[in-house]
A and B are shown apart, each in its own frame.
Chain A
Amino acid sequence: MDSVVRGAAIYLFLLLVFRISGKRTLSQVTTFDFLLLLIISETVQEAMVNDDHSLTHAALLVITLVGIDIGLSLVKRYWKAAEKVLDDIPLVIVENGRLLEDRARKCRVDLGDVLHAARELQGLERLDQIKFAVLERNGGISIVPKSESAGD
């Protein structure tokens, strides 16, 4: 019984904590972000396994995690509001070469992050070359460059 309870508790707890912490936490921008994720995974593993190294316990944990995941994806399909609550939504943070500072601040994203994404994804040099920058649900930033032919 406790295999399912532990698996479910950890899944829901992690979902809650990562939704509370915001988009950027999951994005692994710096090496430390990546390390943090590794450490979290190690910590959680200990509590889930709880000294029970049987095949059955391991299988039940996996089944529970996957089962809840599938269940939630069905909930998301039939109830649109649930999708926003569980998965988050994207947000425009640069519009027509202008950084929307209020939104960026609230999302804890700065101009440096946007320019980094612009260089990496589109080879752009400056903010005014960006038509849209969108902070995606997974914490990454996607860039839509200004098309040169349009002349804006």
Chain B
Amino acid sequence: MSRDRSRFDDGFALIDGSLQLEQDLRFQRRQWIAQRIGWGILWALMAAALAGLLGRGPLSKRTAVDPSGTIAVEYDRFQRERAKSELHLTISPAAVRDGRVQIWIDDAYLRRVQIDTISPPPVAVRMEGTRQVYAFAVEPSATPVRISLHYEHQSVGSLDGRVGIAGGPEVSLSQFVYP
């Protein structure tokens, strides 16, 4: 292993008595250690992301259900700003009244997201205090009603929301949005 034979004040060593170079083996060794730690962090982040901790993945899926089982909302606990997201609602047929089911979402949540499409499209939307109420036309039947909202988060950080059936049970969502 070579040694620096002499060291000048300006940080340039003279390798083997002839090559003038700003080599610094002590710093190099410490840098190698730091790099390996950095690689570990990189791979850990990849693993965390694959698991869903950084948005959209198995560890991120949550379902909020109310005690009576009337409304269930499937959502992603971790999401990212401006990334395509989805909410899936499953409503029990008992909540259908006069061929309609009415879902409300609280305004504070809606102001921080941008909804792209709602499937199926609602037949009516109205404001009710701090909530927006969406009415869907439903044929009476025994199958649960499935509604999907495709949206994007417009802001970063923690976000709590409430979704419920008009005049009925509600559930809360808790999300964290990465920038």
Contacts and interface: CB of A to CB of B under 8 A. Distances in A.
A116 interface: no
Interface in A8-23: 16-17, 19-22
Interface of B: 1-2, 11, 15-16, 19, 21-24, 27-28, 31-32, 34-35, 38-39, 41-42, 82
Given A84-B24, A96-B16, A100-B1, 17 more contacts: A17-B42, A20-B38, A20-B39, A21-B35, A50-B82, A84-B27, A89-B23, A89-B24, A89-B28, A90-B23, A91-B23, A91-B28, A92-B2, A95-B2, A102-B1, A106-B32, A132-B19
| Interface SS majority for chain A | mixed
Contacts of A132: 15-16, 19
Contact of A92 (B15, B31, B38): B15
Nearest to A84: B27
A90 B21 contact: yes
A92 B41 CA distance: 28
A92 B1 contact: no
Interface residues of A, number: 23
A100 B16 CA distance: 14
A90 B15 CA distance: 12
A17 B42 CA distance: 9
Contacts, number: 49
Interface in A70-102: 80, 84, 88-92, 95-96, 100, 102
Nearest to A22: B35
Contact of B31 (A16, A88, A90): A88
Nearest to B13: A92
B22 A20 contact: no
Contacts of A19: 35, 38
Contacts of B28: 89, 91
B21 A134 contact: yes
A48 B11 CA distance: 38
A124 interface: no
Contact of B19 (A16, A21, A50, A144): A144
